[in-house]
């Protein structure tokens, strides 16, 4: 079945076959309960192969851009099903082993895409395919909050040096290396989109609702926003990379407002605001 195809790659050089195979994998959790999947002989090697296939698909972002949705959907449904697995599981589910790698692979592949072509090629940059990007990022709250402590640490470790570099750049009168700045802005745009996506879903069964971590991530975005209009950055509104970053910030604010602004939300989110006031 699918394990043989994953092992041999037979037929996957054809794009239509590849896409339909991803759709097939995406339906696994629809047709099977997680406990049934784990009980199948060879599950351990199968889930490892699916993980490797997903990572390869993420790296082949041009080839597999429309197929990634189905793969992320499979992983998302598996982690959200975990709390409902009853009784003894005959084999390790191994989601805690593979899900963080999927998240890291997504981020690294988005960054790698910046080296693949001209920055101003609107037709190729995945940031500009808004609908497709949002569909993929909609899975992030579930994947990240599955192991929120570890995943958020990884995200902050990626985000911190980017924000620091951008803050230091604001002190300069002019930027000699404009292309480097454009790449920095696009990397920041991806990270801001990801933080916003995580905040969009504050809690779900089996996931970690941790307002302190939400505050830590949000504080970094607010820190970035504080310098976006300072120094020579104020002259960059005609630049495509700056526009992409601005759109990411708007998306972040929309998610933050949904989860943390409003009388009821603020009253129920004291930890968030206490932590933000400390940062």
Confidence class for position 83, pLDDT limits 50, 70, 90: confident
Confidence class for position 207, pLDDT limits 50, 70, 90: low
Q: Is the pLDDT of residue 122 over 50?
A: no
> Do 191 and 158 contact (CB within 8 A), yes or no?
yes
Q: Distance (Å, rounded) from C-alpha 191 to C-alpha 210?
A: 19
Q: Which of 151-160, 165-174, 268-277 has the highest mean pLDDT?
A: 151-160
Predicted confidence (pLDDT) per residue in 180-191, tens digit: 888 899 999 999
Q: Is the pLDDT of residue 108 over 50?
A: yes
Q: Which residues fall within 8 angstroms of residue 186, CB to CB, at 6 or more apart?
A: 114, 119, 125, 127, 241, 244, 245
Q: Is the pLDDT of residue 49 over 90?
A: yes
State whether the Cα torsion 208-212-213-218 is positive or negative: positive
pLDDT for 217 equals 94
**The tokens of 155 are what?**
């995200």
pLDDT for 112 equals 84
Kindly report the average pLDDT of the chain as a whole number. Answer: 83
Q: Distance (Å, rounded) from C-alpha 134 to C-alpha 65?
A: 13
Q: Domain segments of the chain: what residues?
A: 1-116, 148-279
pLDDT for 264 equals 64
Confidence class for position 244, pLDDT limits 50, 70, 90: very high
Q: Is the pLDDT of residue 70 over 60?
A: yes
The pLDDT of 26-37, averaged and rounded, is 72
Confidence class for position 277, pLDDT limits 50, 70, 90: confident
Q: Is the pLDDT of residue 123 over 50?
A: no
Q: Is the pLDDT of residue 35 over 80?
A: no
Confidence class for position 177, pLDDT limits 50, 70, 90: low
């Amino acid at each position: 079945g699918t394990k043989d195809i994953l092992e041999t790659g037979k037929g996957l050089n054809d794009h239509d076959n590849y896409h339909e195979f991803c759709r097939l994998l995406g339906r696994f959790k629809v047709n099977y309960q997680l406990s049934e999947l784990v009980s199948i002989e060879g599950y351990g090697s199968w889930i490892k192969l699916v993980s490797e296939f997903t990572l390869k698909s993420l790296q082949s972002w041009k080839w597999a851009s429309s197929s990634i949705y189905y793969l992320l959907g499979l992983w998302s449904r598996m982690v959200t099903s975990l709390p409902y697995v009853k009784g003894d599981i005959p084999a390790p589910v191994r989601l805690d082993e593979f899900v963080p790698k999927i998240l890291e692979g997504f981020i690294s592949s988005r960054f790698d895409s910046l080296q693949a072509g001209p920055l101003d090629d609107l037709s190729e940059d995945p940031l500009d395919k808004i609908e497709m990007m949002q569909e993929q990022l909609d899975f992030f709250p579930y994947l990240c909050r599955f192991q929120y402590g570890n995943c958020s640490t990884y995200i902050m470790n990626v985000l911190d040096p980017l924000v620091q570099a951008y803050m230091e750049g604001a002190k300069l009168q002019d930027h000699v290396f404009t292309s480097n700045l454009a790449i920095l802005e696009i990397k920041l745009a991806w990270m801001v989109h990801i933080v916003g996506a995580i905040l969009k879903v504050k809690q779900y069964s089996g996931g970690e609702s941790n307002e302190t971590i939400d505050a830590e991530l949000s504080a970094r975005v607010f820190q970035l926003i504080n310098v976006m209009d300072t120094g020579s950055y104020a002259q960059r509104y005609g630049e495509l990379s700056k526009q992409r970053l601005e759109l990411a910030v708007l998306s972040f604010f929309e998610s933050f407002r949904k989860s943390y602004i409003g009388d009821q939300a603020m009253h129920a989110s004291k930890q968030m605001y206490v932590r933000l006031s400390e940062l």
